[in-house]
């Protein structure tokens, strides 16, 4: 009898050990949660870099003059996306002290920078191929401002490797620094290594290239991999591997790449544009939305799949967007200065762009605003409007589409940076006649923003006092 019991025990044990290990069960819904991110550098803002990023991104150029009389073009061409490790052109000196007298048209024109759009090319609409989402899920991720607050960076897992990427609603490419670059180009960047990803698939014949009006750019090959953002996962997501980058990208050591959250009409992959990360996971989200809750000089959050009503108070002001150009684009035909609203006849349309730090409005609007700031001028040496840091700056607002809502920045929050000798650089600047107004983080961090991919709309609301660090 004892032998029989021992035999049965041994048989059962053999069966148990021979059986495959059960796989962990993944529920069809993953609740929201956050991933922590940390900046890698100091906290000094660089207005020159902020202007350069914005103008280069939209293929505009800005030329100004140093105190010694030499001309300097923001974004001097640094190659066609070739692998480069040279340092960018040196920045011009800080602006000379400005007069304490009220700014006038003549004073502004005497020190006027030349602001010129160099190219205008709206991408043609194309059909995106599918890149599946794995499960129904929501996700939340931290967004940490870079040292100069030219961008907010968030941790993203690509094939199990973590990179700090710029979440950019003004573009539609997901591209990363890679080990295909030279060591000098990689520098301090985290570089993705496809050979170390067990889920990487090459995309034969596919390539990508981003080119800017100043000649800078990046390009490379394409593959498919698992991309995770704060618990929300897209399987077989198109990932663009940089094999060539120009020096302007190399010098931005905080940023390991970009995660575009615009519309895939402007994705640059050839022969066929691919879906963005948001478009890939859209069918599996509880709601077809993501939200941006950015903070001033502090980590904020992006959340996918729901609108957290505890993060805002009052009305969510919603306007339809026109996605035909690939952007979260809407009309903005009015602005306010010091609480008084003015119409902007012939206004350019506006886009909500988390990848741009400044608020770039039509030139006539910027000039009208700074005419109300004592001592302000459009400085050739700073590349934008400056004023004495002691000046009383009025509140400034812009209309958000058909909602009629004027989103307002308090005057105390207009200053983007001190540039020396008691002079400050404004976070509101002109668009140089670029034909589009860019509503960047100077505005967006004041509000709770909702991007709805289901009905293609953009919403904005006042932050709840308990989560607004300025309350």
Three-state SS across the chain? CHHHHHHHHHHHHHHHHHCCCCCCCCCCCCCCCCCCCCCCCCCCCCHHHHHHHHHHHCCEEEEEECCCCCEEEECCCCCCCCCCCCCCCCCCCCCCCCCCCECCHHHHHHCCCEEEECCCCCCCCCCCECCCECCCCCEEEEEEECCCCCCEEEEEEECCEEEEEEEECCCCCEEECECCCCHHHHCCCCCECHHHCCCCEEEEEEEEEEECCCCCEEEEEEEEEEEEECCEEEEEEEEEEEEEECHHHHCCCCCCEEEECCCHHHCCCECCCECCHHHHHHHHCCCCEEEEEEECCEEEEEEECCCCHHHEEEEEEEEECECCCCCCEECCCEEEECCEEEECCCCCEEEECCCCCCEEECHHHHHHHHCCCECCEEECCCCEEEEECCCCCCCEEEEEHHHCEEEEECHHHCEEEEEECCEEEECEEECCCCCEEEECHHHHCCEEEEEECCCCEEEEEEECCCCCCCC
Q: What pLDDT sits at residue 247?
A: 82
Q: What pLDDT sits at residue 41?
A: 37
Q: What pLDDT sits at residue 411?
A: 97
Model confidence pLDDT, tens digit, residues 301-327: 889 999 999 999 999 999 999 999 999
Catalytic residue among 83, 168, 214, 362: 168
Checking if the pLDDT of 246 tops 60, the result is yes
Name the pLDDT band for 35 (thresholds 50, 70, 90). Answer: very low
Does residue 202 carry a catalytic annotation? no
The arithmetic mean of pLDDT across residues 14-25, rounded, is 35
Checking if the pLDDT of 471 tops 70, the result is no
Model confidence pLDDT, tens digit, residues 84-113: 433 333 333 333 333 333 333 333 333 434
Which segment of 51-65, 74-88, 146-160, 209-223 scores lowest on mean pLDDT?
74-88
Does residue 168 carry a catalytic annotation? yes
The per-residue pLDDT of the chain, averaged, comes to 76
Catalytic residue among 83, 166, 173, 353: 353
């Amino acid at each position: 009898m004892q032998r029989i019991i021992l035999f049965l025990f041994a048989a059962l044990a053999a069966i148990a050990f021979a059986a495959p290990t059960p796989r962990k069960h993944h529920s069809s819904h993953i609740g929201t949660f956050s991933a922590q991110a940390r900046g890698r550098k100091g906290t000094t803002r660089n207005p020159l870099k902020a202007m350069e990023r914005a103008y280069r991104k939209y293929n505009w150029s800005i030329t100004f003059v140093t105190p010694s009389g030499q001309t300097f073009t923001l974004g001097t061409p640094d190659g066609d996306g070739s692998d480069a490790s040279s340092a960018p052109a040196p920045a011009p000196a800080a602006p000379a002290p400005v007069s304490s007298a009220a700014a006038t048209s003549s004073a502004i024109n005497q020190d006027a920078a030349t602001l010129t759009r160099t190219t205008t090319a709206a991408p043609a609409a194309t059909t995106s191929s599918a890149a599946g989402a794995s499960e129904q899920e929501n996700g939340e991720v931290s967004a940490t401002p870079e040292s100069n607050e030219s961008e907010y960076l968030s941790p993203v897992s690509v094939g199990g490797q973590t990179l700090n990427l710029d979440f950019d609603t003004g573009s539609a490419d997901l591209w990363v620094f890679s080990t295909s670059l030279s060591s000098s180009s990689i520098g301090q960047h985290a570089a993705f290594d496809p050979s170390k990803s067990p889920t990487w698939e090459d995309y034969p014949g596919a390539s990508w290239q981003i080119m800017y009006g100043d000649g800078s750019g990046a390009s490379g090959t394409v593959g498919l991999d698992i991309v995770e953002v704060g618990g929300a996962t897209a399987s077989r997501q198109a990932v663009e591997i940089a094999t060539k980058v120009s020096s302007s990208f190399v010098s931005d050591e905080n940023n390991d790449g970009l995660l575009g959250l615009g519309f895939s009409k402007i994705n640059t992959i050839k022969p066929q544009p691919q879906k963005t990360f948001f478009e890939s996971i859209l069918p599996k989200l509880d709601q077809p939305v993501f939200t941006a809750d950015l903070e001033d000089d502090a980590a904020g959050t992006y959340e996918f799949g729901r609108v957290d009503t505890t993060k805002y108070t009052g009305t969510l002001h919603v306007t339809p967007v026109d996605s035909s150009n690939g952007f979260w684009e809407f009309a903005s035909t009015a602005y306010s200065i010091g609480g008084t609203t003015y119409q902007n006849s012939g206004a350019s349309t506006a886009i909500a762009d988390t990848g741009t730090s400044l608020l770039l409005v039509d030139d006539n609007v910027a000039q009208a605003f700074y005419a109300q700031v004592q001592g302000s001028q459009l400085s050739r040496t700073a590349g934008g409007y400056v004023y004495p840091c002691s000046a009383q700056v009025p509140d400034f607002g812009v209309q958000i589409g058909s909602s009629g809502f004027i989103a307002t920045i308090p005057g105390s929050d207009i200053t983007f940076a001190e540039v020396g000798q008691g002079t400050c650089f404004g976070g509101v600047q002109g668009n140089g006649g670029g034909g589009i107004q860019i509503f960047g983080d100077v505005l967006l961090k004041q509000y709770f923003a909702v991007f709805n991919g289901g009905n293609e709309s953009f919403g904005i609301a006042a932050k709840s006092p308990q989560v607004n660090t300025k309350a």
